Amino acid sequence: MSDRIYVATRKGLFTLARQDGTWQISGTDFLADNVSMMLADPRDDTLYVALDHGHFGVKLHRKSGDGAWEECATPTFPEKPEGQEDDVDMWGRPIPWSTVRVWALEAGGPDQPGLLWCGTIPGGLFRSSDHGSSWELVRSLWDHPKRRQWVGGGADLPGIHSICIDPRDSKRVQIGVSCGGVWSSLDGGDTWDCSGEGMRAAYMPPEQQYDPNLQDPHRVVQCRESPDRLWVQHHNGIFRSDNCGARWEEITEAGPSVFGFAVAVHPSEPDTAWFVPAIKDEKRIPVSGEIVVTRTRDGGRSFETLRNGLPQKHAYDLVYRHALDIDTTGNRLSFGSTTGNLWVTEDQGDSWQCAAQHLPPIYGVRFA
């Protein structure tokens, strides 16, 4: 059971603690700084925070236990080889060999102490084997010819936002890319493949809609105890895989909308997943101004619309892809919004309490 929630926001990192049955803000760090991502490493109790200072670029800080924060190394691209042809974005501008934002940060497996994975905009995947003291660009992915086809989704530049480490085998890694689909490595990142079938990109010409490398999975999550089950909240729908991404099934009905950014899967019940829907891409606000969470318990065949404790009138909160999380028991979930509201449930979404209001725009929520 998790009694602590970390909330990454546009203006700092907030910690909430559960006391006497309610959730209260118990700490603030990096107040006024843009926290694009955070990770509480369950293997060694180290906290990592990625800051986007705008003018001064991306920085990474870490804290071990009750120790002090220290700046550690930032995932940095190597010097671009002289004469290397530029990759270009859809406007013909060069894709920079420079970290623009840390968009994913995950711990390696329990058998890989100190190993971290970091996904970035503009699409570089980095690996650290020393708790973030140094980082190495995963060249096998960066140099992959298909990587050059990635385009921005939401941001001008492509980005890696999801990293799933298979609980059965830490060398089996899957990443989600906007826009570049879901990629898999079976050998710890030495080789990569993007070959899943069935994912559909409604925003592409008909003959390209099923190209795996053109998909925009907003978020990819993996069931802890049934890792062959993956869920994806995609730009134009919800997808489920029963074979670790080899094939995807599209879910076309899910309560008020299949559009959204976030998804959470129960750690031991692969058929149970949660989404926070919104009107699709041209509006990106809750349907009818009502904030709801949708839940399926049967693998997406049916959905319940959960609204007990959530605002049901003139509410326009949007929930970003990293801003919904579930705890290790599968009973507690929390999500935060662009409007700075944070909700928590302790009964799998049957009822919600508002744990914080008036926070800065929320980018990420994590139980620890």
Partner 1 sequence: MPACSRSFDHRRSNCKSMARVSFTPTLQRHIACPPVDVAAATVREALDAAFAGNARARAYVLDDQSALRKHMVIFIDGKRVQDRVNLSDPVLENGEIFVLQALSGG
The two structure tokens encoding residue 150: 């990635």
Instruction: Specify the residue, 51 or 263, whose C-beta has the smaller distance to partner 1.
Output: 51
Distance CA 45, CA 357 (A): 28
**Segment lying near partner 1 (by CB under 8 A), choices 2-10, 69-77, 298-306, 339-347:** 69-77
CA dihedral 61→63→322→243, nearest 10 degrees, is 110
Number of residues that bind partner 1 (CB under 8 A): 17
Q: Per rule CB under 8 A, is residue 168 in the interface with partner 1?
A: no
Instruction: Specify the residue, 52 or 106, whose C-beta has the smaller distance to partner 1.
Output: 52
**Segment lying near partner 1 (by CB under 8 A), choices 3-11, 55-63, 188-196, 231-239:** 55-63
C-beta atoms surrounding 328 within 10 Å: 14
Q: Per rule CB under 8 A, is residue 9 in the interface with partner 1?
A: no
Distance CA 337, CA 160 (A): 21
Instruction: Specify the residue, 131 or 240, whose C-beta has the smaller distance to partner 1.
Output: 131
Query: Taking the CA of residue 234 as centre, how many other CA atoms within 13 Å lie in the half-sphere pointing to its CB?
Result: 28
Instruction: Specify the residue, 60 or 238, whose C-beta has the smaller distance to partner 1.
Output: 60
* Shortest reach from residue 364's CB to partner 1, in Å: 21
Are the CB atoms for 184 and 176 separated by under 8 Å? no
Instruction: Specify the residue, 95 or 324, whose C-beta has the smaller distance to partner 1.
Output: 95
Q: Per rule CB under 8 A, is residue 210 in the interface with partner 1?
A: no
- Kindly report whether the peptide bond that precedes residue 164 is cis, defined as omega within 30 degrees of 0: no
Distance CA 212, CA 234 (A): 12
Are the CB atoms for 172 and 166 separated by under 8 Å? yes
Largest distance between two CA atoms of the chain: 63
Instruction: Specify the residue, 81 or 92, whose C-beta has the smaller distance to partner 1.
Output: 81
* Shortest reach from residue 98's CB to partner 1, in Å: 4
* Shortest reach from residue 54's CB to partner 1, in Å: 5
Report the length, in residues, of the chain: 368
Backbone angles phi, psi at 55, to 5 degrees: -55, -45
Q: Which of 245, 112, 104, 219 is nearest to 171 (CA)?
A: 112
The contact mask relative to partner 1 for 89-128 (x = CB under 8 A, - = no) is -------xxxx-----------------------------
**Segment lying near partner 1 (by CB under 8 A), choices 47-55, 157-165, 217-225, 293-301:** 47-55
Complete edge-to-edge strand list for the sheet that includes strand 273-277? 260-265, 273-277, 293-296, 304-306
Residue with tokens 């080789």, as numbered in its chain: 191
* Shortest reach from residue 74's CB to partner 1, in Å: 6
Q: Which of 36, 46, 74, 128 binds partner 1 (CB under 8 A)?
A: 74
Instruction: Specify the residue, 55 or 314, whose C-beta has the smaller distance to partner 1.
Output: 55
Q: Which of 203, 205, 189 is nearest to 234 (CA)?
A: 203
Q: Per rule CB under 8 A, is residue 62 in the interface with partner 1?
A: no
Report the sign of the C-alpha dihedral through residues 196, 200, 203, 206, in that order.
positive
The two structure tokens encoding residue 280: 């699709």
* Shortest reach from residue 76's CB to partner 1, in Å: 5
**Segment lying near partner 1 (by CB under 8 A), choices 50-58, 250-258, 260-268, 350-358:** 50-58
Q: Per rule CB under 8 A, is residue 358 in the interface with partner 1?
A: no
Instruction: Specify the residue, 10 or 307, whose C-beta has the smaller distance to partner 1.
Output: 10
Quick one: the chain helix, strand, coil %, rounded to 5?
5, 40, 55
Q: Per rule CB under 8 A, is residue 131 in the interface with partner 1?
A: no
Q: Which of 3, 45, 70, 71 binds partner 1 (CB under 8 A)?
A: 71
Residue ranges in contact with partner 1 by CB under 8 A: 53-57, 59, 71, 74, 76-80, 96-99
